């Protein structure tokens, strides 16, 4: 009955987490790596569906193992946007939750805990991990890291079960989970030697206890190590054979080795980043994990010196006395050592990364902390209940233990507001930046991130206007292509500043890619392609000057004939005026206020400053609010515009409380002194547009929806 209740609790937590996470897959940009994973998965899926012939590690350059691209291929090829890949990540995250719950239960059993503690430890660890801000965000992002780390956590949970019971089935499942982790990302490779040492230690325990009759111990140990090797490393070997050993090695392992050569490790800076990560988001979880580790080693909380002495004496006792307790003490000690090693390696491994990303490389430590935290929470909660009910204490200083655990829980739950802030930031299309910082809506940094996201939206609209659904585009910001629903040329699917920094691309690769795939639109950082003089010369010769300036040295070029034609070309820009094209818009609603952002691409500077007129209309077509002004809150007058320049034009409008939507906006340009309005032009013929009354058409209507 207790087993059924425990399993039911775990399934309920997993189901609730899946339902909540799958309902929060929105947001514009969570991380630029999502675009790379989208581009690769989309191309692989297209090949499977007969829409192209691009293959991983051949036409498609990739510096990661193939499992994530394969897992997201069909969802991305048959759906739109990033949500399908994010849903796949949620599935992998559930494996991580299951793994830490299993690990916490094994640790509780290793301490000789009561049934109620062992039952509560697993669900407690799962809940604590589920509400961790970094886990909550990463479990819904189209990124490889958390899926790989989740499989690694599952491998460790199963390995700890093997260490306690000696069941070969658990070892086989742990090895398979490790193989899946390495087929996603190589970072968890340090678990391989740890699992091998665990096999040897378990074999030694079995020899001493004579608890594994039948098969000779030496032969069993060899068989277990062979099983671990085949299931742990076999998937990588099969992938190498499938895709070709040479390209697979060069792109996956070669990229890692070249990164180590080109980026020096700064241990001091990395330690500072670790401290920031622990303190900013995870101080409560770290405290609980430390309490759990102490509980694992020192089952009776005493002062530190006495505890250390007791540890030495207990170890000597366990080695010298052939009592029935020795079998229990041996696996318990083995689990304590294994979990401690897991924690230590999860700390040391990211510290030798260069460059180090706080958003990604410390996630394995997050999963490693959770089992210890769950153990502490279960012990603390049950001890606290016993004290409250005035039952005899099983351990000395139980009151202090309960107080410390409750303090850790309160400290950890204090991160919940941050978790909610992250979700609000993501669902309102603001960015979770690489430094892990979340900004409050309305402050200057939030505005800066908003402008960054708006630039991505505008760039996506520009790509839609100049490349058809069957075209390939070239960009170093694959999220732009994802939001434009345009495929990236396969050799550039994983093009990034880091890849450029390690020499993964050269002039011949870039020129060959845009020529082979007849790329009609190129969107790249000007500074990033400065290292490729032949490619720059090719762009100047074939494409001419940039057609759009998105700011920050990012330019777009038109380089060939697109498959767009007819009505398709009307999708973007939305409207054309003499001075500028309106590429599109975005809006946010804040407590009855509308934030409308218009994306203008200048055609030329006007001979006099123009104002932008925005009339908000209700469901009956009546004007309920209006905002006029110089573009970009007065910062970008139209007589200073240059051809191709992107202008993000913000209008904040208060709506009357009685107004009823859905709302629309009528947008136009006019000269403030004379009131003369600019006429719209047909997107295909460039002829002036006229309304039904025969007068020139001077406004475009935008759908705003409901607040």
Helix (H) or strand (E) holding 600: strand 593-602
Q: Cβ(505)–Cβ(62) under 8 Å?
A: no
User: Which residues touch 93 (CB under 8 Å, ≥6 apart)?
Assistant: 17, 21, 135, 138, 139, 140, 146, 147, 150
Q: Cβ(336)–Cβ(110) under 8 Å?
A: yes
Q: Which residue has the higher pLDDT, 48 or 421?
A: 48
Quote the CA–CA distance of 551 and 570 in Å, as a whole number.
25
Instruction: Give the pLDDT confidence score for residue 508 in this predicted structure.
Output: 93
SS3 of 42-64: HHHHHHHCCCCCCCECCCECCCC
Average model confidence (pLDDT) for the chain? 83
Tokens of 626: 């209006």
Q: Cβ(664)–Cβ(670) under 8 Å?
A: no
Instruction: Give the pLDDT confidence score for residue 328 in this predicted structure.
Output: 41
Instruction: Give the pLDDT confidence score for residue 54 in this predicted structure.
Output: 92
> Helix H segments across 185-266?
191-209, 217-243, 245-248, 254-262
The full set of domain ranges for the chain reads: 2-30+82-422, 450-567, 573-582+602-705
pLDDT of 543 strictly over 60: yes
**Where residue 134 falls among pLDDT bands split at 50, 70, 90?**
confident
pLDDT of 474 strictly over 90: yes
Q: Which residue has the higher pLDDT, 431 or 684?
A: 684
Quote the CA–CA distance of 403 and 432 in Å, as a whole number.
35
Quote the CA–CA distance of 293 and 288 in Å, as a whole number.
9
Instruction: Give the pLDDT confidence score for residue 96 in this predicted structure.
Output: 97
Burial class (CB in 10 A: 0-12, 13-18, 19+), 524: buried
State the average pLDDT over residues 354-382: 86
Instruction: Give the pLDDT confidence score for residue 418 in this predicted structure.
Output: 67
**Where residue 29 falls among pLDDT bands split at 50, 70, 90?**
low
Q: Which residue has the higher pLDDT, 341 or 327?
A: 341
Q: Cβ(611)–Cβ(650) under 8 Å?
A: no
Q: Is 303 helix (H, G, I), strand (E, B) or coil?
A: coil
In the block, residue with structure tokens 């390209």:
247
Helix (H) or strand (E) holding 416: helix 416-427
State the average pLDDT over residues 314-322: 43
Helix (H) or strand (E) holding 602: strand 593-602
pLDDT of 26 strictly over 70: yes
**Where residue 85 falls among pLDDT bands split at 50, 70, 90?**
very high
**Where residue 246 falls among pLDDT bands split at 50, 70, 90?**
very high
The DSSP annotation for 611-671 comes to: EEEEEEE-TTS-EEEEEEESTTTTTS-GGG--TTBEEEEEEEEEPPTT--SSEEEEEEEE-
Among 183-197, 449-463, 633-647, the range scoring the smallest mean pLDDT is 449-463
pLDDT of 388 strictly over 50: yes
State the average pLDDT over residues 152-166: 94
pLDDT of 445 strictly over 70: no
337-371 core/surface letters (b: 16 or more CB in 10 A; e: else): bbbebbbebbbebbbebebbbbbbbbbbbbbbbbb
Instruction: Give the pLDDT confidence score for residue 155 in this predicted structure.
Output: 97
**Where residue 481 falls among pLDDT bands split at 50, 70, 90?**
very high
Percent of the chain with pLDDT over 70: 83
List Cα–Cα distances, 398 to 112, 387, 483, in angstroms: 16, 8, 56
Q: Which residue has the higher pLDDT, 217 or 334?
A: 334
Among 111-115, 280-284, 665-669, the range scoring the smallest mean pLDDT is 111-115
Quote the CA–CA distance of 162 and 624 in Å, as a whole number.
68
Instruction: Give the pLDDT confidence score for residue 216 in this predicted structure.
Output: 63
Q: Which CATH architecture has domain 573-582+602-705?
A: Sandwich (2.60)
β-sheet with 487-488: strand ranges across: 487-488, 472-475, 521-525, 554-558, 548-551
State the average pLDDT over residues 142-149: 94
pLDDT of 697 strictly over 60: yes
SS3 of 439-507: CCCCCHHHHHHHHHHHHHHHHHHHHHHHCCCCCEEEECCHHHHHHHCCEECHHHCCCCHHHHHCCCCCH
Among 150-164, 166-180, 431-445, 606-620, the range scoring the smallest mean pLDDT is 431-445
pLDDT of 394 strictly over 60: no
Instruction: Give me the phi and psi of 577, to 5 degrees please.
Output: -115, 175
Half-sphere exposure of 426 (CA within 13 A, CB side): 26
Chain-centre distance of CA 42, in angstroms?
A: 17
pLDDT of 176 strictly over 70: yes
Instruction: Give the pLDDT confidence score for residue 321 in this predicted structure.
Output: 41
473-494 core/surface letters (b: 16 or more CB in 10 A; e: else): bbbbbbbbbbbbebbbbbbbbb
- Percent helix, strand, coil in the chain, to 5, is 55, 15, 30
Half-sphere exposure of 361 (CA within 13 A, CB side): 19
Quote the CA–CA distance of 605 and 582 in Å, as a whole number.
15
Instruction: Give the pLDDT confidence score for residue 48 in this predicted structure.
Output: 94
pLDDT of 440 strictly over 60: no
Residue 616's closest CA among 648, 656, 675, 583? 656
Tokens of 519: 């790329």
**Where residue 397 falls among pLDDT bands split at 50, 70, 90?**
very low
Q: Cβ(525)–Cβ(476) under 8 Å?
A: yes
**Where residue 312 falls among pLDDT bands split at 50, 70, 90?**
very low
What DSSP character marks residue 404?
Answer: H
The 10 Å Cβ neighbour count of residue 57 is 21
pLDDT of 187 strictly over 70: yes
Torsion angle, alpha carbons of 507, 509, 514, 516, to 10: 130
Instruction: Give the pLDDT confidence score for residue 443 in this predicted structure.
Output: 63
Instruction: Give the pLDDT confidence score for residue 247 in this predicted structure.
Output: 94
What DSSP character marks residue 252?
Answer: I
**Where residue 690 falls among pLDDT bands split at 50, 70, 90?**
confident
**Where residue 306 falls among pLDDT bands split at 50, 70, 90?**
very low
The DSSP annotation for 536-596 comes to: HHHHHHHT-S-SEEEETTEEEEE-S--S--GGGGGSSSSEEESSEEEEEEEEEEETTEEEE
Instruction: Give the pLDDT confidence score for residue 452 in this predicted structure.
Output: 78
pLDDT of 393 strictly over 70: no
Burial class (CB in 10 A: 0-12, 13-18, 19+), 421: middle
Tokens of 198: 């665990």
Provide the pairing of β-strand 623-629 with 663-670: unpaired
**Where residue 704 falls among pLDDT bands split at 50, 70, 90?**
confident
pTM for the complete prediction?
0.86
Angle ∠(326,331,334) on CA atoms, nearest 5: 120
Instruction: Give the pLDDT confidence score for residue 565 in this predicted structure.
Output: 57
State the average pLDDT over residues 49-71: 94
Q: Which residue has the higher pLDDT, 411 or 75?
A: 75
């Amino acid at each position: 009955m207790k087993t059924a209740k425990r399993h039911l609790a775990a399934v309920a937590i997993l189901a609730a987490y899946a339902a909540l996470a799958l309902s929060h897959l929105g947001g514009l940009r969570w991380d630029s790596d999502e675009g790379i994973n989208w581009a690769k998965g989309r191309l692989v899926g297209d090949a499977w569906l007969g829409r192209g012939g691009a293959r991983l590690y051949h036409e498609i350059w990739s510096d990661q193992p193939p499992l994530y691209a394969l897992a997201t291929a069909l969802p991305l090829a048959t759906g739109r946007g990033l949500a399908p890949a994010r849903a796949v990540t949620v599935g992998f995250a559930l494996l991580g939750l299951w793994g830490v719950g299993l690990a916490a239960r094994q640790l509780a059993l290793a301490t000789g805990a009561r049934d109620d503690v062992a039952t509560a430890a697993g669900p407690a660890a799962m809940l604590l991990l589920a509400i961790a801000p970094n886990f909550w965000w990463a479990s819904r992002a189209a990124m490889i890291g958390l899926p790989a780390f989740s499989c690694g956590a599952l491998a460790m949970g199963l390995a700890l079960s093997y260490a306690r019971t000696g069941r070969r089935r658990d070892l086989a499942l742990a090895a398979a989970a490790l193989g899946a982790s390495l087929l996603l990302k190589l970072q968890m490779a340090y678990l391989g030697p740890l699992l091998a040492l665990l096999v040897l230690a378990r074999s030694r325990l079995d020899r001493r206890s004579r608890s594994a009759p039948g098969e000779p111990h030496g032969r069993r140990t060899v068989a277990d190590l062979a099983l671990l090797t085949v299931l742990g490393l076999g998937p990588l070997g099969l992938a190498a054979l499938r895709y070709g050993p040479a390209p697979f090695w060069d792109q996956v392992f070669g990229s890692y080795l070249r990164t180590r050569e080109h980026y020096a490790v700064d241990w001091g800076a990395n330690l500072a980043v670790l401290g920031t990560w622990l303190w900013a988001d995870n101080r409560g979880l770290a405290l609980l994990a430390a309490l759990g580790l102490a509980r694992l080693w020192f089952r009776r909380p005493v002062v530190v010196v006495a505890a250390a002495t007791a540890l030495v004496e207990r170890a000597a006792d366990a080695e010298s006395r052939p009592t029935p307790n020795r079998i229990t003490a041996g696996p318990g000690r083995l689990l304590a050592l294994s979990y401690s090693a897991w924690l230590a390696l999860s700390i040391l491994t990211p510290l030798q990364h260069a460059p180090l990303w706080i958003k990604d490389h410390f996630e394995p430590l997050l999963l490693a902390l959770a089992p210890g935290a769950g153990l502490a929470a279960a012990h603390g909660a049950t001890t606290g209940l016993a004290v409250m009910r005035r039952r005899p204490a099983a351990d000395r200083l139980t009151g202090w233990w309960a107080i410390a655990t409750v303090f850790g829980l309160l400290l950890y739950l204090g991160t919940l507001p941050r978790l909610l802030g992250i979700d609000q930031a993501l669902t309102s299309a603001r960015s979770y930046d690489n430094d892990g910082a979340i900004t409050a809506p309305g402050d200057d940094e939030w505005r800066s991130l908003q402008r960054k996201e708006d630039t991505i939206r505008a760039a996506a609209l520009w790509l839609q206007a100049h490349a058809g659904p069957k075209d390939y585009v070239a960009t170093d910001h694959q999220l732009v292509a994802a939001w434009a629903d345009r495929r990236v040329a396969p050799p550039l699917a994983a093009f990034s500043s880091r890849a450029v920094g390690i020499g993964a691309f050269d002039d011949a690769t870039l020129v060959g890619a845009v020529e082979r795939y007849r790329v009609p639109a190129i969107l790249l950082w000007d500074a990033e392609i400065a290292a490729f003089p032949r490619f720059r010369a090719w762009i100047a010769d074939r494409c001419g000057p940039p057609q759009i300036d998105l700011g920050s040295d990012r330019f777009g070029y038109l380089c060939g004939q697109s498959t767009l034609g007819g009505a398709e070309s009307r999708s973007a820009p939305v409207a054309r005026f003499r001075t500028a094209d309106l590429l599109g818009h975005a809006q946010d609603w804040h407590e009855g206020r509308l934030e409308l952002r218009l994306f203008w691409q200048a055609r030329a500077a006007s001979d006099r400053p123009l104002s932008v007129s925005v009339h908000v209309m209700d469901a009956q077509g009546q004007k309920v609010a209006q905002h006029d002004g110089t573009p970009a809150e007065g910062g970008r007058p139209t007589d200073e515009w240059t051809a191709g320049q992107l202008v993000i034009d913000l209008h904040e409008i208060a709506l009357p409380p009685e107004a009823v939507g859905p709302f629309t906006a009528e947008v136009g340009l006019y000269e403030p002194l004379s009131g003369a309005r600019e006429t719209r032009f047909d997107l295909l013929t460039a002829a002036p547009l006229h309304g039904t009354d025969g007068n020139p058409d001077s406004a475009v209507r935008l759908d705003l929806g409901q607040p």
